Amino acid sequence: KDYGIFTGDTLFLGDVGRPDLAIKQGELTKEDLAGFLFDSLRNKIMTLADDVIVYPAHGAGSSCGKNLSAETIGILGEQKKTNYALRANMTKEEFIQEVTAGLTPPPQYFPKNAMMNKTGYGSFDNVLERGAKPLDPDTFEELVNTEDALMLDTRSEADFTREHIPNSIFIGIDDNFAPWVGALITDLQQPIVIIAPEGRAEEVVTRLARVGYDNTLGYIEGGVAAWKAAGKETDSVESITADELAERMAANKHLEVLDVRKPTEYLAQHVIGATNFPLDYINRNMDRLDRNKTYHLHCLGGYRSLIMASILKARGYHKIVDVQKGWRAIETADVPKTDYTCPTTITQEVIDAAVASVV
């Protein structure tokens, strides 16, 4: 009796793998790869018993699918009933059309990492030795100014919100770190200096290197406290609760709310009047923002919105307010919201239109 199946990037919970991520050789297109995916699903996976447990390689937050579930294991029979790509009456042509529609651009580091795996890369020992080097505040600042190094703050959301080095970018090590580094730092050779949680600089350097970022130049010893002790300025992020957001919206019907989640998350349910401004495409949409306006940012839980807040502040948008705990808190607050729509019932045409509006 079959017990379970490790489905890798072929079958996810609520979705299937993207056919556009593989490095294509010759005339092989995403439609060709989608056809191979259809055959694998029908001939290898859907023939298994309904009680087989599904162990996918990724869940919500991964860029390897369009709308992955947050669950980590599932039952194949349930996927046959609810996963759009496993419909029993689906033709191969329909599958190819639906799987290839609404695809957002893949993270820019995917093909770069694939090429690195082919051509090779430098010694990790050298990367770690250079990257985990302690720096005093003056040397840290000098590297920022002379090497155009990016200041990457990998501490907790609470620590960054309370106090950080001006113009540093927040991507916390304890959440979806590597995917967001890869999505937002476009140059693999970008010089980086680190603000790390106490004792975790080597871990940060290691995790950066795993996705191809080998040009780390060191970390500030003593962190933000050492920076302050050296007489240097710090900054903070204005942060409010979901209840405070409700109060502000009641007092100001034109309050600017930016929902930084993915289009599919926004379509399922959102704050009435909020603009979908996905973190994934921040660089494409900066011209839609006005430095004179105040923007209230939220995501699902607070991680993505704080990343965006740090980027906007570093680019001169200082009227930024972050909503603590994001949509999870907004859901239970007295904030005006649209009715909930199950993501699996949203038509492909609607998804395509939403994606097109932000890409």
Q: Do 163 and 207 have their domain in common?
A: yes
Q: Do 348 and 248 have their domain in common?
A: yes
Domain containing 30 equals 4-100
Q: How do the pLDDT tens digits run along the chain, 359 residues long?
A: 899 999 998 999 989 999 888 756 667 888 999 999 999 999 999 999 999 999 998 876 677 777 777 788 999 999 999 999 999 999 999 999 889 877 777 777 777 777 777 777 778 899 999 999 999 999 999 999 999 999 999 999 999 999 999 999 999 999 989 889 998 999 999 999 999 999 999 999 999 998 899 999 999 999 999 999 999 999 999 999 999 999 999 999 999 999 999 898 999 999 999 999 999 899 999 999 999 999 999 999 999 999 999 999 999 999 999 999 999 999 999 999 999 998 767 777 888 788 888 87
Q: Do 270 and 307 have their domain in common?
A: yes
Q: Does 110 map to a domain?
A: no
Q: Do 204 and 253 have their domain in common?
A: no
**Going by DSSP bridges, is the β-strand pair 295-298/275-276 parallel, antiparallel, or unpaired?**
unpaired
Q: Do 56 and 92 have their domain in common?
A: yes
- Beta strand segments in 181-315, E: 192-195, 216-220, 238-240, 256-259, 275-276, 295-298
CATH number (domain holding residue 253): 3.40.250.10
Q: Do 259 and 182 have their domain in common?
A: no
Q: Do 221 and 267 have their domain in common?
A: no
Q: Does 27 map to a domain?
A: yes
Q: Do 177 and 260 have their domain in common?
A: no
Question: Final residue of a domain: which of 206, 229, 252?
Answer: 229
Q: Do 348 and 299 have their domain in common?
A: yes
Q: How far apart are the first and last CA of the chain?
A: 46
User: What's the total number of domains in the chain?
Assistant: 3
Rg from Cα positions in the chain: 22
Q: Does 39 map to a domain?
A: yes
Q: Does 33 map to a domain?
A: yes
